Amino acid sequence: MLIRLIIRELKDWLEFILGNIPGRTGFFIRNIYYKKRLFKSFKNNRFETGLRIEFPRNVDLGSYSYFGFNCKLYASEFSRIKIGVNASFNSNVMINARGKGEISIGNNVLIGPNVVLRSSNHSFDSTEIPVLDQGMTKGEIIIHDDVWIGSNAVILPNCEIGKGAIIAAGAVVTSNVGSYSIVGGVPAKLIKMREHIKN
């Protein structure tokens, strides 16, 4: 037990140091490290400083993506995060699938700064037990290809965002969003549809 705690402590220190090495050296080292630690290997991702990935074996990350300063990816023993190719995550994005949740993000997805994706939530059925002690619900978030999520938006559990949708800055998404729709507000409502031109 003590040996396991020491190993965990050393790993935390190592990831903190690797996560804060600046410049091209940092990009290079983080790529090498996370290629070995994540669910599968990838090519040419760019991880800025402050990156934190919990339970990397349950994080499936595609290639050619950008992760800005202080991005957080939280998986757990019972939850997964899957991200496609050519995605862009601005600074302070939190992708949180802790508990028994799952988050799936498609290809060519653009996520603005300070966005939160949370696939699970606290249970609160009982008024006799503190919310903190009631455990977590199970949930899922699915984001299809070519979605743009504006800064400070929040995506709550059990939401599916269709292909080509746009989520306005500051929106709180509590239900499914159709393909090529633009939504905004708290809770998010349809603003208008994007004109979909077939090639």
- The residues annotated with a catalytic role in the active site are 122
b/e map 12-35, b = 16+ CB within 10 Å = eeebeebbeeeeeebbeebeebbe
Give 39-105 as a DSSP string. Answer: SS--SS-EE-TT-EEESGGGEEE-SS-EE-TT-EEE-BTTBEEEE-SS-EE-TT-EEE-TTT-EEEE
**Sheet (strand 140-143) strand order:** 59-61, 80-83, 102-105, 140-143, 159-161
Cα dihedral sign for 15, 21, 23, 24?
negative
Rounded alpha-carbon distances, angstroms, from residue 22 to 26, 67, 148? 5, 14, 28
| CB neighbour class for 180 (10 Å; exposed up to 12, middle 13-18, buried from 19) | middle
